[in-house]
Amino acid sequence: MRNLTSIICLLSTFCLLNCSPDEPSIAQETPLELYYPPLDPNLEWDTKPIADLDWNQNELQPLLNFLEGKNTKGFLMLHRGKIVEGTEVYMNGHTANALWYWASAGKTLTTAVSGIAQDEGFLDINSKVSDYLGTGWTSAPLEKENLITCKNLLSMNSGLDDGLGDNVSAQNLHYLADPGSRWAYHNVYVKLQDVIAEATNQSFETYFTDKLKNRIGMNGAWIPSNDFSVYFSNTRSMARFGLLVSAKGVWENDQIISEAFMTDATNTSQQINKAYGYLWWLNGKATYHLPQSQFEFQGELIPNAPSDMYCALGRDDQKLYIVPSKNLVIVRMGEAADGANFALSNFDNELWSYINALTN
């Protein structure tokens, strides 16, 4: 990613000056016993003493040492929405206000906005993509193109050829198999952003900002990178999004995304890759597939992690883990821990061995 450091610095300055919502919110406990931080990022985000959680405090420093040695920039852990004291750290030249890229972890932002647009009646994910974009958005035969639904894009089973690169112009989207018959990690999911723009008659970025970003106090921006846009934000903004998703789409008393959609999004979306929902990765399944492979792997996605965990995984180890059984949301941003990767890496399982030592 060219001039990455310059982009991050400029965006950090811009968001500090311009991205704070106008109206603060009073943080409060809900019937779900979740805490929500104020929308105004200048107000305090409540913390929880690690001693209150009966965790093994002696294992915190080994975790932090491991993270720092693995090129981590930002890391934090939420328990029922509150930041666990000592677990919010910024390393390797990063700061709390600095922005970093989500990479493919940001796919789940498109999932969330798709759910909002469906809840508001602008689209139906079971409808074909050509209902919104018109025909000819691919190079597939018309009868095959018209089989592809928005849900296929969310589930990564459109049947389009994933071997032709990230460009999603019509000439690069070729038929390979019928939708639903083949799972392949493919950038074609971004066509959902075009669907949302057409359905709502406004840009995807505007709809995202009004319906999601500002409503939960996120900062950040979508930045063009080659054939698509990548989301950049600070670490706490990713945690805010994780908190929203962990609460099944609720922020304080506001149902931002319907519970029904969030339940579908974070469960198996098709039967080829059981470890995949609507652009969310799912732990605890008997088998899984990985990007750029048609091989089915046996066992759980991340064996050391809780079986009920689901996660947003991005290139070079951008991580958002949500663990309902432990009431945890965990964020890791930074450079690749070991080597370049597309989503899952050995780092996931290693990191969870340290998290388990702390939390168990």
* Tens-digit pLDDT profile for residues 248-302: 999 999 999 999 999 999 999 999 999 999 999 999 999 999 998 899 999 999 9
The predicted pLDDT at position 291 comes to: 92
DSSP summary character for residue 211: I
68 close to 48: Cβ distance less than 8 angstroms? no
The predicted pLDDT at position 79 comes to: 98
Q: How far apart are CA 357 and CA 193, in angstroms?
A: 40
Q: How far apart are CA 278 and CA 267, in angstroms?
A: 8
First to last CA, the chain: 38
Distance of CA 117 to CAs 16, 205, 210, 261, Å?
29, 13, 12, 11
Residue ranges with strand state E in 186-274: 221-225, 228-233, 250-251, 254-255
Q: How far apart are CA 257 and CA 120, in angstroms?
A: 10
Q: How far apart are CA 268 and CA 313, in angstroms?
A: 16
* Tens-digit pLDDT profile for residues 198-211: 999 999 999 999 99
| pLDDT tier at 23, thresholds 50, 70, 90 | very low
Calculate ∠ Cα 304-245-96, nearest 5°: 80
Q: How far apart are CA 209 and CA 218, in angstroms?
A: 9
Higher pLDDT, 19 or 26: 19
* Tens-digit pLDDT profile for residues 27-41: 333 345 899 999 999
Higher pLDDT, 306 or 4: 306
Segment (H or E) for 12: helix 4-18
Q: How far apart are CA 236 and CA 192, in angstroms?
A: 26
pTM: 0.92
Compute the mean pLDDT over every residue in the chain, rounded to the nearest whole number.
Answer: 92
